[in-house]
Amino acid sequence: MKVLRLHASGQLRLHEEHEPVPREEDHLLAITAVGICGSDLQWYSQAGIGDARLQNPLVIGHEFAGIIDKGDQSGCRVAVEPAVYCRQCRYCKEGNPNFCENLRFAGHGTEDGALREKLSWPKHCVYPLPDEITDVEGAMLEPLGVALHALDLGCVQPGMTVGIFGCGPIGLLLVQLARAAGATRIIATDPLPHRLDAAGALGASTTILATGGREDQQVWAATDRSGVDLAFEAAGENAAVETAINVTRPGRPVILIGIPEDDRTAFQASTARRKGLTLKLVRRMKHTYPRAIDLVKRGIVDTRSLITHRFPLSGFKAAFTAAMKREGIKVIIEPMI
């Protein structure tokens, strides 16, 4: 089978390897769709992310869907939870598996991910896809899960004014989720005009081009000088964090989702302190796949329009070039084509 491995910064190589032999508790999956995430791009460009560094050639990719290849469920299309929790540690037992002490995560550290033709993965981490959801949309359920978890942390209520700072896939999913949760005004910012166009089409009431901090006054004007009730930072940039803090009303929450390239988040402490803001950081997701599947199946969340580029595994160079340039919105690689 074909396997794409990261050997060093910017060095992806296609290999021919043996097909994995699944354990009794695993399914053998034929991988049909893999989304390229911003964290994958950090692995690709920096040979690591945060304090995790590349130790051996790694298969990246954690947003994926596939088909069960063998057994009594052979042929079943599935979305795949990339995090494998131990279900035994104190955090798992408390209902917070995203803090699992023994976590395995596809495409991170030493755990190979999905940019290959076949993968063996635990049965309890796969979710059947209904006919209404395509495989490429199934790969989008992972970022939708992150957006759902962020929404849960923010506790969106009907009538709120919500700010979304960064309109990549997660930000655009949050636009839709905030609207579905009852937010009446959604202010979206991004430095890329085509992503702002998408935000407007998906439900943002006001879109603002991020221009190095000058968008603060535009947010204030759009909210009648009252600011936002809740802010989601989904850019991974300190400028977006600063804007979110500057325009959020006193006593309200700011949810930080983005992963900064230099592993540092900085903002003016006095502003956040004097406002008494609550800062919450998003650690992946928990218990979101069934909800995510239902939202897409019922048409409440549109993932299909976010998929702008599709490549076969052999086209990985073009796929990563498009993703690094932030062309379109979501780049998908389809290994079995």
pLDDT at 72: 83
Is the pLDDT assigned to residue 331 strictly greater than 80?
A: yes
Taking CA 122 as the corner, what is the angle to CA 99 and CA 49, rounded to the nearest 5 degrees? 45
Domain ranges of the chain: 2-140+303-334, 144-281
Structure-token pair, residue 2: 């074909």
pLDDT at 211: 86
What's the CA gap between 201 and 216, in Å, rounded?
A: 22
Percent with pLDDT over 90 in the chain? 97
Is the pLDDT assigned to residue 213 strictly greater than 80?
A: no
Count the residues in the chain: 337
C-alpha torsion 53→55→56→62, nearest 10: -30
Is the pLDDT assigned to residue 162 strictly greater than 80?
A: yes
CATH of the structural domain 2-140+303-334, one choice from 1.25.40.80, 3.90.180.10, 3.40.50.300, 3.40.50.11540 = 3.90.180.10
The interaxial angle of helices 169-180 and 193-201, nearest 10 deg, is 20
Beta-bridged to residue 334, according to DSSP, are 312
The CA distances from residue 192 to 185, 214, 280, 297, 316, in Å, are 21, 15, 26, 29, 24
Mean pLDDT of the chain: 97
pLDDT in tens, 226-285: 999 999 999 999 999 999 999 999 999 999 999 999 999 999 999 999 999 999 999 999
Q: Look at the pTM and tell me if it is higher than 0.95.
A: yes
pLDDT in tens, 284-304: 999 999 999 999 999 999 999
pLDDT in tens, 56-109: 999 999 999 999 998 889 999 999 999 999 999 999 999 999 999 999 999 999
pLDDT at 128: 98
Is the pLDDT assigned to residue 143 strictly greater than 70?
A: yes
Same fold, 2-140+303-334 and 144-281: no
pLDDT at 97: 97
Structure-token pair, residue 296: 């897409």
Q: What is the mean pLDDT of residues 166-182?
A: 98
Q: What is the fold, at CATH topology level, of the domain defined by 144-281?
A: Rossmann fold (3.40.50)
